[in-house]
Chains A and B, each alone.
Chain A
Amino acid sequence: MTDATADRPVVHLSGLDKSFPTKGGGETAALQGIDLDVQTGEFISLIGPSGCGKSTLLRIVGDLIEPTAGSVEVNGKSARQARVDRDYGIVFQAPVLFDWRSVEANVRLPLEISGVTGAERDKRIDEMLDLVELSGFRDHYPHQLSGGMQQRVAIARALALQPALLLMDEPFGALDEMTRERLNAEVLRIWRATGKTVIFVTHSIPEAVFLSTRAVVMSPRPGRISHVVDVDLPQPRSEDSRETDRYYELVTEVREALRGRTPDADKPDTDTPGTDEPASPSQERARAEGSFG
């Protein structure tokens, strides 16, 4: 990050490894040597092919699983402490709304659990529903909403506790392209309005470029950070940003990075070794192209 300040990063990952036991008694390295700092207010995309460990990385930050080695700090605390302090909100690919609760009651859920009561609770629910523009649907039940609306309820729910960090795991992966683009714009608006720090897992290059301030490109087996692309599209972005030359350049840059090439010689690599060597066999490269071309 060129404008890195002296501020403490919201997320500080260093030397992170994660391996899972395999059937034969061995181990698969899901993540290896992950170093990443996320500054306040950044919008970070984690992008890479299936199996590159991007969701695993997100879950480690959210203390949903523990790393095998390395350290995770969120707001200067351990991931566990950050979770207990409710420092982050999560949005999954599926909305995971509680279908016995109305829209309003779904947004109220985290507030109930954390003991926010009375007028403060009502105020927050109103704010959140306004934010995702679903105030007119507060008494609806999840089954009465479209997939995109359900996902917006999930976002409102994730933000209800006013977390410093929003973790989004392919939140629009199950939606059609049109809805996805609308919701991308929606997320950008929410991000600008709230100033949250966002970590956003995706396998869509356009989505990563349109949304993020930095796109962290990962490669599989073992999952590692291969490139970090600074996405310098001017803010505030709109649908028109998708039609600028710079947008296409950045899309190409991310795509090249996913193929394991360094597009610009002056692009600073991350400190992960072996980034620009064609580490992955051609087969794998073809796979990456197949899913992202």
Chain B
Amino acid sequence: MNDERAPESTPGAESAAHSPEPYESASDLLVHQAEERADPLTDPEAGEIALDVGDTADDVAIHTSRGAEAVVGRWQTPWGRFARTALALGAFFIIAGLIWETLKWFGGTPWRFENILGTGIDYFHDPPFRVLQFSDRQLPHIWDILYELVEPFQRGSDETLLQFLLGAALFTARQAFIGFTLGALIGIGIASIFVHSLRSERAFMPYVVASQTIPIVALAPVIALAVGLGPVAVVIVATYLTFFPVTISQLRGLRSPDPRAMELMRSYGASRWDIYRKLRFPASVPFLFTALKVAATWAIIGAIIGEGPGGVGEGLGKAIISFSQQYITGPEKLWATILIASLVGIVAFLAVRAAEVLVLRNRPGANP
């Protein structure tokens, strides 16, 4: 997602040659980039516009937007940024599907279409190779998976698999959302404590890291036993997975302000609380969103794992367990469940991304 940076920095490239000092941290780099971006505007012409104010406000706006357009194009609106992410993910699905069917075309089970779309044409394909892993038993056709979605999810039921899975997805998403929110708040809280107390960071950071070295699959049943089978156990696992990336990234974000910005705040006689809410926290927001995007998908995974082993709840985790037991007779159901689960993760990711492009709409340097 960083490739747009490249054309952006080109116009200011020569300014890098006389950049006044080396930049050590990510935040410095951002400042540096901001300076580079501003640099094309400091040419004499722009200086003139800048000084004769009054009626030239529009000129500068045009100048700026023209510069921006040459540099980054029409994707630089919030909607454009969001659409770019969504399209990239959509492209991923299409490419994955193409690879999938290509593998089957070369090594799958022979297949036949009769009377395609009522045209009377028959189609028969006999793949040149036989690869066990690409057979219909293991890698069913995409259209078979999609078709399975509109079939009854079990014999005699009037609920389709899609309806069933959407219900399960809703259950999982609800637990994941609660876990995500709690995890994010805990992560922000821990980072906020650490940033104000090096001693507490030194004392407790090892535990934060150690917490993530325990295999969550092993921990989930223990948690379920401890708090009982139910949504609470699911939420705890989702929280457990989400607080970590938020803590780490947020700590970085809270430390990201330019040292000179800290000195400015000092010169205003700002309290720690002022510095936190007016400098540290706003500066950390881009870092926070980076973590939240990771955390959103992990929360879904956490919720699925959390309900899985103990058979808690009505969510996708349970569906995965039960459909994997029917895998031999009908692998399509498991694959359909996996598809829905990944779509839920993508929706969660895109929701955070949408919030990100909106919140950071005036900070192009922090919002690729």
Residues of A within 8 A of B (CB): 62, 64, 83-86, 88-90, 92-94, 96, 98-102, 109-110, 112-114, 133-137, 141-150, 161, 173-176, 178-179, 182, 186
Q: A93, B38: Cβ atoms under 8 Å?
A: no
Q: B278, A112: Cβ atoms under 8 Å?
A: yes
Q: Which 6 A-B pairs have the closest CB atoms?
A: A146-B41, A136-B57, A147-B42, A178-B44, A179-B47, A141-B362
Residues of B within 8 A of A (CB): 20, 31, 34-35, 37-39, 41-44, 46-47, 50-51, 53-54, 56-57, 60-61, 64, 258, 260-261, 263-270, 274, 278-279, 282-283, 285, 362-366
Residue of A at shortest CB range from B52? A133
Q: How far is the CB of B161 from chain A (nearest CB, A)?
A: 46
Residue of A at shortest CB range from B65? A144
Q: Which one of A83, A98, A110 lies within 8 Å of B261 (CB-CB)?
A: A98
Q: How far is the CB of B39 from chain A (nearest CB, A)?
A: 6
Residues of B within 8 Å of A88, CB to CB, are 267
Residues of A within 8 Å of B265, CB to CB, are 113
Give CA–CA (A94, B60) in the complex, Å. Answer: 21
Q: How far is the CB of B331 from chain A (nearest CB, A)?
A: 50
Q: A175, B42: Cβ atoms under 8 Å?
A: yes
Q: B42, A94: Cβ atoms under 8 Å?
A: no
11 further interface pairs, Cβ-Cβ under 8 Å (given A113-B268, A178-B44): A64-B267, A88-B267, A99-B34, A99-B365, A101-B282, A136-B54, A143-B34, A144-B61, A176-B42, A176-B44, A179-B47
Q: Which one of B44, B53, B269 lies within 8 Å of A114 (CB-CB)?
A: B269
Q: B268, A147: Cβ atoms under 8 Å?
A: no
Q: How far is the CB of A171 from chain B (nearest CB, A)?
A: 12
Give CA–CA (A76, B57) in the complex, Å. Answer: 44
20 contacting pairs across A/B (C-beta < 8 A): A62-B263, A83-B266, A94-B258, A96-B261, A98-B283, A99-B366, A100-B282, A101-B282, A113-B269, A113-B270, A136-B56, A137-B57, A143-B34, A145-B50, A146-B38, A147-B39, A161-B268, A173-B20, A176-B42, A182-B47
Q: How far is the CB of B40 from chain A (nearest CB, A)?
A: 9
Give CA–CA (A110, B278) in the complex, Å. Answer: 10
Give CA–CA (A135, B265) in the complex, Å. Answer: 24
Q: B268, A110: Cβ atoms under 8 Å?
A: yes
Q: How far is the CB of B301 from chain A (nearest CB, A)?
A: 32
Residues of A within 8 Å of B60, CB to CB, are 137, 146
Q: A100, B264: Cβ atoms under 8 Å?
A: no
Q: A98, B51: Cβ atoms under 8 Å?
A: no
Q: B47, A133: Cβ atoms under 8 Å?
A: no
Q: B260, A92: Cβ atoms under 8 Å?
A: yes
Give CA–CA (A145, B44) in the complex, Å. Answer: 14
Residues of B within 8 Å of A141, CB to CB, are 362-363
Q: B50, A64: Cβ atoms under 8 Å?
A: no
Q: B42, A179: Cβ atoms under 8 Å?
A: yes
Residue of A at shortest CB range from B43? A176
Give CA–CA (A100, B257) in the complex, Å. Answer: 12
Q: How far is the CB of A286 from chain B (nearest CB, A)?
A: 22
Residue of B at shortest CB range from A89? B267
Give CA–CA (A222, B19) in the complex, Å. Answer: 27
Q: How far is the CB of B64 from chain A (nearest CB, A)?
A: 5
A99 and B267 contact, Cβ closer than 8 Å, known pairs A142-B34, A148-B47, A178-B44: no
Residues of A within 8 Å of B47, CB to CB, are 146, 148, 176, 178-179, 182
